[in-house]
């Protein structure tokens, strides 16, 4: 049996999405910037996709800009906000607030702004479940704060942040609020108007669309500088000839995601909870990382097992037909412990023994049963060879 449990790393392209995209590779291939009828068909396809993405998140079509990825949208939000603030006269006084558990697309961009642009950045701590404190945000904000960027839900541990409260605070203070919703967009309902979000990043390949396409929500009236310069594509905001097929695929994927969410969210939540409860009952001293219940993404399961290396778990699971990860797919080759798990207070030993399993449309009860039938034995075998586990048992008891 093959069980894919890494949907937060990427999803397979939905066959319906692929079918919608196909004509734009070979038949309707005109450059949207041209004036003939073939180009008009391409422009119409992009306009439709823009409407589909906007409708999925409560936005207006003119507020959606297509990018090459969620990472590009993250860069655009932070760098664009800082550049616009400086253009308005806030030279050298820019302050950015983010969190310690953001995706590296945000953290590395913030680091760049600190090192090369002289921007002051505050990295908010999180609690033991990975949640940002509104009180910490209030204390950190100053008159120089240009933008607050807090991810909608964490890609490793699945904790959903208090986005509405953050949005309301930022709106009251006149501070731009950006959220990286790459993981959350396909899993939970999002209404950018209700949540008072100014900017939001999305990625097609997390919602059963194609890789290489993302979207950036920019609320009407919000001013940020362009990130990609060149031609006049995307209403003069994002240069480069449009990836028509990818954009069509993202629009179609967003529409289908919105339609399926009312049934898919409770289905995945039930499977998630079965997997979590099964692991807690069958594996001694297993630690669930992240929040529980409605404050956790419906498809996310993240555990740490003392005395076990996460990489060895992946190899053993793979030998049993199970694909999972130790955290973010973007850093899976790193030997360093997860910055997210360290931020929530885990020891190096626990952080190194983490396992992330993320569910999706193809996940079934049978798949969860297969995981629960093999994972306890894998953990027990690895622990039997671990001096760390032996020492832990001596100090804490149990077996």
Q: Using one digit for the tens of pLDDT, what is the confidence trace for 162-208?
A: 999 999 999 999 999 999 999 999 999 999 999 999 999 999 999 99
Please write the tens of the pLDDT for every residue from 218-270: 999 999 999 999 999 999 999 999 999 999 999 999 999 999 999 999 999 99
Burial label, 226 (beta-carbon count in 10 A; 0-12, 13-18, 19+): middle
Instruction: Report helix angle 244-282 to 37-56, nearest 10.
Output: 30
Least confident span in 119-133, 211-225, 331-345: 331-345
pLDDT at 91: 57
Integer Cα distance of 216 and 105 in angstroms: 14
Tokens of 395: 């100090």
The segment(s) of the chain belonging to CATH 3.90.1150.10 are 3-8+261-396
Predicted model pTM: 0.95
DSSP string spanning 26-41? HTS---TTS-SHHHHH
Nearest Cα to Cα of residue 215 among 232, 192, 188, 189? 192
> Rounded to whole angstroms, how far apart are CA atoms 338 and 354?
9
pLDDT digit string, tens, across residues 256-308 = 999 999 999 999 999 999 999 999 999 999 999 999 999 999 999 999 999 99
| Domain span(s) for CATH 3.40.640.10 in the chain | 15-257
Instruction: List active site positions.
Output: 330
Burial bucket for residue 89 (CB in 10 Å: 0-12, 13-18, 19+):
exposed
Report the C-alpha gap between 138 and 160 in whole angstroms. Answer: 19
CATH of 15-257, one of 3.40.50.720, 3.40.30.10, 3.40.640.10, 3.65.10.10: 3.40.640.10
In CATH terms, the fold of domain 3-8+261-396 is 3.90.1150
């Amino acid at each position: 049996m093959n069980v894919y449990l890494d949907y937060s790393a990427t999803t397979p392209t939905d066959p319906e999405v692929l079918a919608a995209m196909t004509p734009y590779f070979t038949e309707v291939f005109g450059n949207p910037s041209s004036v003939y009828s073939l180009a008009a068909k391409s422009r119409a396809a992009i306009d439709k996709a823009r409407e589909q993405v906007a409708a999925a998140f409560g936005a207006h079509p003119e507020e959606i800009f297509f990018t090459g990825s969620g990472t590009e949208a993250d860069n655009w939000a932070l760098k664009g906000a800082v550049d616009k603030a400086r253009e308005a006269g806030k030279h050298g006084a820019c302050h950015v607030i983010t969190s310690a558990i953001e995706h590296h697309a945000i953290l590395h961009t913030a680091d760049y702004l600190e090192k090369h642009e002289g921007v002051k950045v505050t990295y908010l701590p999180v609690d033991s479940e990975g949640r940002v404190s509104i009180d910490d945000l209030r204390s950190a904000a100053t008159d120089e704060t240009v933008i607050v960027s807090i991810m909608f839900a964490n890609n490793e541990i699945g904790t959903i942040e208090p986005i509405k409260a953050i949005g309301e605070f930022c709106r009251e203070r006149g501070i731009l609020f950006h959220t990286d919703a790459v993981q959350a967009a396909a899993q939970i309902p999002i209404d950018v108007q209700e949540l008072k979000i100014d900017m939001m990043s999305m990625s097609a390949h997390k919602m059963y669309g194609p890789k290489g396409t993302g979207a950036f929500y920019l609320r009407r009236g919000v001013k940020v500088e362009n990130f990609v310069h060149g031609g006049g594509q995307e209403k003069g905001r994002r240069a480069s000839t449009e990836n028509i097929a990818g954009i069509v695929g993202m629009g179609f994927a967003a529409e289908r995601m919105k339609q399926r969410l009312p049934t898919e969210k409770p289905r995945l939540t039930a499977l998630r909870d079965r997997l979590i409860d099964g692991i807690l009952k069958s594996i001694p001293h297993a630690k669930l990382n992240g929040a529980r219940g409605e404050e956790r993404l419906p498809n996310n399961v993240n555990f740490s097992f003392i005395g076990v290396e996460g990489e060895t778990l992946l190899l053993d699971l793979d030998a049993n037909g199970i694909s999972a990860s130790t955290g973010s797919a973007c850093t899976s080759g790193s030997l360093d412990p997860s910055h997210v798990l360290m931020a929530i207070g885990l020891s190096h030993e626990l952080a190194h023994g983490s396992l992330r399993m993320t569910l999706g449309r193809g996940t079934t009860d049978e798949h969860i049963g297969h995981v629960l039938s093999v994972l306890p034995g894998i953990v027990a075998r690895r622990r039997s060879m671990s001096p760390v586990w032996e020492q832990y048992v001596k100090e804490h008891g149990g077996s």
